[in-house]
Amino acid sequence: MKDIIVLGIETSCDETSVSVVKNGREVLSNVIDSQINIHKEFGGVVPEIASRNHVEAISYVTKKALEDAEINFNDIDVISCTYGPGLVGALLVGVSYAKALSFALKKPLVAVNHIEGHIAANYITFKDLKPPFLCLVISGGHTHLVYIKDYNKFEILGKTRDDAVGEAFDKVARVIGLEYPGGPKIDNLAKQGHATITLPTSHLDNLDFSFSGLKTAVLNLFNKNENINKADLCASFEKNIADILIQNTLKALEEINSTLNIENSNVNKIALAGGVSANSFIRKSFLELEDKYNLKIYYPDLILCTDNAAMIASAGYYNYINGKTAKLDLNAIPNLKIC
């Protein structure tokens, strides 16, 4: 069977990334040009600035990705790109560039949902991982519990009703005086503290999440007492988040298995994905479930947790072999749903 080489392009937010991946699992190159230092002074991503920087970076990042992979454009079989969700101006840079390459090189174009890409990052880290499994997608813009029935078949079991978990991390970090991006800063500071502060936990009647109340409680607590131990506050906030995520994930897995009537077909695989899956406490908390509940926990390498094009190329590969290609009238969809 012929190898399929996919060029992936990711520009949904503030990383300009291009990657070359073989057969959906083997990364030949993965170049990421981050804008963190640019947006840091604003305390968050400025969409117009992000778009302009994508325009400036996309060509040289593509050239570097090809050089690192030691191939040229003629060796590429498929062009894949993120077309949503994300910042519309940023998405349009990658979509337009991918369409131009597809037209000029006469190569198939594949559109990839950004959330689908985060899920696919696990296929790169774990070569033997195959559906079905449950995936918890946790990032700055999303908190989704997704049942992966097959490579291109998804069912959303739960999602946030307000703030995404990464958004809550960033907002708390900003108020207590930590630099953007706040998630890693909270993770590091929490290691110096103890989870001794009682915080509210949201309990919904389904598998959805809500982090707005927890975020507000932390902000109010800090505003009333700015001398509070920040490390303890971060540790308590982080533990509360992890407890909520684990509670709903286990409930979702139970729900999945209760609907499977085939003997010995229980799903026991849980994958984490998205930027917040890099959080060390959340990873540790989920790993503790393996022995306790006889589960297998997966999470991507750290470089694949953040936005990157390798995950887009991997997802693009599985779309392509399942006949899901796009036309040259492809447009960016900033509020795109996975299903």
Enumerate the β-bridge partners of residue 31. 18
Question: Are 168 and 24 in the same domain?
Answer: no
317 and 23 Cβ atoms separated by less than 8 Å: yes
The answer to the question of residue 327 being in a domain is no
- Collapse the DSSP code of 179 into the 3-class scheme (helix H, G, I; strand E, B; otherwise coil) and give the result: coil
Residues 97 and 195 in one domain: no
Q: Do both 180 and 295 map to the same domain?
A: yes
* Range of the structural domain that residue 108 is part of: 5-121+304-321
Say yes or no: 222 and 293 in one domain.
Answer: yes
DSSP label of 298: E
Residue range 181-208: average pLDDT?
A: 93
Q: Are residues 112 and 78 in the same domain?
A: yes
What dihedral do alpha carbons 98, 7, 12, 179 form, nearest 10°?
A: -140
Q: Is residue 329 part of a domain?
A: no
Residue 333 lies in a domain: no
What is the per-residue pLDDT across 153-178, written as a single tens digit (0 to 9) for each? 999 999 999 999 999 999 999 999 99
Average per-residue pLDDT for the chain = 95
In a domain, 210, yes or no: yes
The answer to whether residue 99 sits within a structural domain is yes
119-138 burial code (b ≥16 CB/10 A, e <16): bbbbbbbbeebebebbbbbb
DSSP for residue 159: E
Same domain, 158 and 231: yes
**pLDDT at site 264:** 46
Mean pLDDT of 88-115: 98
Distances (CA, A) of 277 to 33, 89, 134, 285: 20, 26, 14, 11
Tally of domains in the chain: 2
Q: Residue 204's pLDDT is what?
A: 85
17 contacts 309 by C-beta, under 8 angstroms? yes
Residue % of the chain over a pLDDT of 90: 90
**What pLDDT shows up at residue 214?**
94
The model's confidence at residue 265, banded by pLDDT at 50, 70 and 90, is low
285 & 152 share domain: yes
CA atoms within 13 A on the CB side of 43: 10
The number of CA neighbours under 13 Å toward the Cβ of 300 is 30
Instruction: For 64-75, write each residue's pLDDT tens digit.
Output: 999 999 999 999
Q: pLDDT-based confidence at 261, cuts 50/70/90? A: low
Q: Is residue 338 part of a domain?
A: no
Average pLDDT over residues 14-42: 95
Strand 5-10 and strand 109-113: the pairing is unpaired
Asked if 331 and 83 count as a contact pair (C-beta separation under 8 A), the reply is yes
Residue 61, SS3 per DSSP: helix
Q: How far is CA 130 from CA 86, 144, 225, in A?
A: 27, 19, 49
Same domain for 91 and 147, yes or no, is no
Residue 185 and residue 116 in one domain: no
Q: What is the pLDDT of residue 40?
A: 85
- The predicted model gives 85-109 an average pLDDT of 98
**Tell me, what's the pLDDT at 333?**
98
Indicate whether 93 and 9 sit together in one domain. yes
Question: What distance in Å separates the CA atoms of residue 263 and residue 80, rounded to the nearest whole number?
Answer: 39
- Phi and psi dihedrals of 133, rounded to 5? -160, 165
CA pair distance 84, 102, nearest whole angstrom: 18
Residues 57 and 113 in one domain: yes
Residue 339 within a domain: no
Flag whether 330 is in a domain: no
State phi, psi for 250 to the nearest 5 degrees. Answer: -65, -40
- The torsion angle over the Cα atoms of residues 182, 184, 186 and 188, rounded to 10 degrees, is -150
CATH number for the domain harbouring residue 25:
3.30.420.40
The C-alpha angle with vertex 114 and arms to 187 and 31, in degrees rounded to 5, equals 75
Contacts of 216 (CB under 8 A, 6+ apart): none
Confidence of residue 1 (pLDDT cuts 50, 70, 90): confident
Pair (142, 249) in one structural domain: yes
